[in-house]
Amino acid sequence: MILDSISDFLNKDIENKLLFKNDYLFPSILISYILFVTWIGPSLMITRKPFKLRGIMVVYNFIEVCVNIYVFKWIFSTTIFYWHARCLLFEDPEYLAIYKKTLPLWWFVLLNKMFELWDTVFIVLRKKWNQLSGLHIIHHSIVCSMAWWFTRNPSRTGFYFFVVLGINIVVHTVLYTYYGLSSIGPHMEKYLWWKKYLTALQIGQFVVDIAYVSFEVLTGCKTVGISEIITFAFITYLLILFLNLYKEKYCK
C-alpha cells in the first residue's frame, strides 16, 4: 500500500500535483529555505552546540549516490531513445508528446533537487560555517528553480537539457560519494586525496555544458529563445563563480 502510494505520487497525474500546478508553493518553499540557511538557522544555532548528525549524514549522502545513479540511467536511456527528436521545435506535436512521456523523469528530478536542499540545512545544524558559502546557496537555489520551471514549461524545455542534466547527475554522484565517505569519520581522510579535483570536475562540467549548448545552437539544431538564454547565462555565471573558488583555494 505504501509503495503503491509512493509510485502513484512519482508517476501518476503529475500535472495535478499541488507542487506542479500551484504558482506559489515552490517559491514559498525556496524563500523559506533561503531565509532559514541565511538568517533563521544561524540565529537559532548561535548559542547551541552543533548537532553531530554523523549517521544521518552517511545515510543521506549514500541515498543521494543511489538516487543519482538511478536518475542517470533513466536520463541516459531516455536521451538515447528520443535522440532523433533533439532538433524538433518546441511547438511540434511530437516534441510535446515526448515531453508528456518524460514528465515523470522531470518530476523525479525536481523532487530530488528539492531534497538536496537538505545539504545546506545540515551545514547550518552542524555549524560548519566554512561550508556555508554564497556559491553553495546560489547553486542549490538556481538549479532547483530551473528544474521547477523547466518541468512546468514544455514549450521552453530544450532536449539539450537532458544532456546538461545527465552531466550534472554524473558530477553529483561523484560529489555525494565524497561527502558520504568523508561523513563516516576523520579516519577516511587518507582515502580522500582527490578532494581538490572536485572543483575542477565541476568547472569541466560547465565548460562541456556551454560547448554542447553552443554546438546545438550554432549548427541550427536549436534557435535561441528564453530557455537557451537562461540556461547559458546560468551556466556561465556558475562557471565564473567556480573558477574564482578554484583560484582562491588552489592557486595561491
Active site residues: 139
- Residue 208 to residues 165, 168, 202, Cα–Cα distance (Å): 12, 10, 10
CB within 8 Å of 188: residues ≥ 6 apart: 181, 182
| Euclidean distance between CA atoms 11 and 101, whole angstroms | 10
- Residue 224 to residues 159, 206, 239, Cα–Cα distance (Å): 13, 19, 20
CB within 8 Å of 25: residues ≥ 6 apart: 18, 19
3-state SS class at 64 = helix
C-alpha cell at 110: 525536481
